[in-house]
Amino acid sequence: MTEGDRSNAGEGPRVTLARGNPRGMTEGDRSNAGEGPGVTLARGNPRGMSEGDRQRARPRGFTLVELMVALLVSSLLVGMILAIFSRMSIAYRGQQQIAGVQQVLAAARAAIEFDAKQAGLGVADGFQTPFTGTSLISPVTVVDSSAGPDQVAFFYADTSTQAVIFDDASAFPTLNVDIVDGFAPGDLIVLSKANTSTLGLQSGEAHLTTYTACAFQIDPGPNSVTAGVPPTVPGTLRVATTGSWGALASYCSALMKKGVMVYKFVAHGYRINATTPALAAVGVLEQSTNGGLLGPADTWSVLAHGFSDLQTALRVYQANAAVDADGDGDVKRDWFSGNNQDALTAAPLPVPAPGLLQISISLVAHTDRAVEGIATSQTPSLTAANADNNPLGDHPSVALPSANPLFPGQRIYRYITFQVDFRNLGVGR
């Protein structure tokens, strides 16, 4: 095309760019100078590209439709990630609460199991108290309930703190003892005398040790515990004569003799408070240091929260039994899980005392707050077809949520069942 044709076609004039020196040197001058020929570029479209080709060749961005599709896909991905995170968070919180419940169950088991193993030490054949007189109290007592938690108590001598009556000169209410270390005003104590003359159950067996025991309280007032000067001057323990544990001069006078052992007395009762609505709603496991012996006047302290049930069963040796009550093939040794436990352990304890061999204890606990999606639908069944004779208890499962404040809904429930041999009871049976 001539310059005029390009002008008529709407193209600009041709522009010549010189390689090397652009200041008006002739081609010959540039050639002599060793430069190459000039380069001529045409403004407009030197390659014959149409307008459509030029439009397609321009850089392009995203269209509105493409942006909307990308936004939708990213929103779906974010929603899925959030849903997964939410489920993981719920599961994590649930596992944290389950771990907490299991820790509480383990701690409660440890406390109860320790007392159960010691039950009967120094008081295996029962003991007297100032408020029961000559009626013997069992070293293990159970108050059964088929509609709620049971109550259990264990009694034993704490041999880590002991003394011996120094002489026969003790004058009620003062006990002359060889040592008073470890005793304090207000402590419960037990006087225990061992007798090794009882024959074994079978001919030729070793004699069994039986005990005569009486429980007292050291006077909570001042100067009730005084140290002596061993070995000639005894220490003294003054027992309470007033209050719930107040004793009369005639009480257990036969045991206030030289050589009789004096121990700290452990009386631990356990229950889940089901009578006070506010405490039942948080599942309070309580302990009494009087073993529940004082009835409504007893003092209970809080051990833990989140408990719903406590069930017990006792395995007992009965020499004259003729019926296999629990169906295990052993006629003389049966499990008792109903209110027959009350009859076996209630005062006055018969002589000889029932041969208590084992106890089975079941504890049910729940999380302290609602848990989404993984809540328990019903509590565990702590009984069997024979509710009165099985190694669990007599309380069936409860559908959740329940009107009973002990069994709230939207919680995770866990339970533990353990059996303990009575080391100091049922010996030889």
Half-sphere exposure of 4 (CA within 13 A, CB side): 0
Query: For residue 419, is pLDDT > 90?
Result: yes
Closest of 243, 230, 282, 246 to residue 411, by C-alpha: 282
3-state SS, residue 195? strand
Amino acid letter for position 265? F
Q: What is the pLDDT of residue 352?
A: 73
Q: What is the pLDDT of residue 17?
A: 46
25-29-34-36 Cα dihedral, nearest 10 degrees:
60
Q: What is the pLDDT of residue 200?
A: 61
Q: In whole angstroms, give the CA distance from residue 357 to residue 334.
A: 10
Closest of 319, 356, 339 to residue 140, by C-alpha: 356
In this predicted model, what pLDDT tens digit does every residue of 266-293 receive, in sequence order? 999 999 999 888 999 999 999 999 999 9
Query: For residue 110, is pLDDT > 60?
Result: yes
Dihedral sign for Cα atoms in the order 130, 134, 136, 141: negative
Q: What is the pLDDT of residue 385?
A: 94
In this predicted model, what pLDDT tens digit does every residue of 222-239 receive, in sequence order? 999 999 887 788 899 999
Query: pLDDT confidence of 118, banded at 50, 70, 90?
Result: very high
Cα 58 to Cα 48, 51, 61, 66, 266, distances in angstroms: 16, 11, 10, 19, 95
3-state SS, residue 163? strand
**Using the 8-state DSSP alphabet, how is residue 145 labeled?**
-
Phi/psi at 44 (nearest 5 deg)? 105, -135
| Residue 142 burial (10 A CB sphere; 0-12, 13-18, 19+) | buried
Q: How many CB atoms neighbour CB 252 within 10 A? A: 23
Q: What is the pLDDT of residue 44?
A: 53
Higher per-residue pLDDT: 51 or 73 = 73
Token pair for 38: 């000039």
Query: For residue 19, is pLDDT > 60?
Result: no
**What number is the average pLDDT over the span 304-317?**
96
Q: What is the pLDDT of residue 104?
A: 94
Query: pLDDT confidence of 199, banded at 50, 70, 90?
Result: low
Query: pLDDT confidence of 138, banded at 50, 70, 90?
Result: very high
**What number is the average pLDDT over the span 201-220?**
83
- Contact of 297 with 244, CB cutoff 8 Å: yes
What is the full DSSP assignment across 261-304?
EEEEEEEEEEEE--SSHHHHHTT-EEEETTTTTTGGG--EEEEE
Q: What is the pLDDT of residue 242?
A: 94
- With vertex at residue 210, the alpha carbon angle to CA 205 and CA 211, rounded to the nearest 5 degrees, is 165
Amino acid letter for position 247? A
Query: pLDDT confidence of 369, banded at 50, 70, 90?
Result: confident
